[in-house]
């Protein structure tokens, strides 16, 4: 349907022989599909993520919208093992008692006081 579609990036009519369709209702000129944060071109060689009609590369989408460690505030990679306490998620190495610094392991009893993890001995 070249000539009928409007580009979600620039708003212009797509007259090109090719267009990029990212979702059922969003289409771009090939040159206009770029990460809204860093400007990296998003083509068939990389993963594209959408949020509120804007396209993002994987790195920026994860940094801006991904779940972050409650301790260090860094994003998680797909290979990270995590620990959870209520609504908080932690890297394994960040899951430590706030008082003594001991790493808490699966099966350890602990307390979550506001944002601080406390081992049983320090609770």
CATH class, 1-65 region: mainly beta
For 96-116, how does the pLDDT look when each residue is reduced to its tens digit (9 = 90+)?
999 999 999 988 999 998 888
Kindly state the tokens that stand for 42: 């998003």
Please determine, for residue 4, whether its predicted confidence score (pLDDT) is greater than 60: yes
For 13-41, how does the pLDDT look when each residue is reduced to its tens digit (9 = 90+)?
988 877 788 777 788 888 888 999 999 98
The domains of the chain are located at 1-65, 66-122
CA distances from 63 to 39, 40, 66 (A): 15, 15, 6
> Exposed (0-12), middle (13-18) or buried (19+): which is 92, by Cβ within 10 Å?
middle
Q: Which of 62, 38, 35 is nearest to 46 (CA)?
A: 35
Q: Sign of torsion, CA 103 117 88 38?
A: negative
For 45-94, how does the pLDDT look when each residue is reduced to its tens digit (9 = 90+)?
778 898 988 899 988 998 899 889 999 998 888 788 999 998 899 999 99
**Topology of 66-122 in CATH?**
2.10.110
pLDDT value of residue 3: 55
């Amino acid at each position: 349907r070249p000539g009928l579609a409007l580009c979600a990036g620039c708003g212009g009519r797509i007259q090109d022989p090719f267009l990029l369709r990212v979702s059922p209702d969003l289409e771009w000129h090939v040159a206009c599909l770029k990460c809204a944060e860093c400007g990296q071109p998003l083509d068939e060689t990389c993963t594209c993520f959408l949020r509120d009609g804007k396209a993002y590369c994987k790195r920026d989408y994860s940094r801006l919208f991904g779940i972050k460690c409650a301790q260090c505030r860094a994003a998680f990679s797909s290979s990270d093992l995590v620990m959870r306490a209520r609504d908080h998620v932690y890297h394994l190495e960040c899951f430590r008692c706030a008082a003594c610094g001991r790493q808490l392991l699966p099966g350890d009893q602990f307390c979550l006081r506001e944002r601080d993890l406390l081992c049983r001995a320090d609770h």
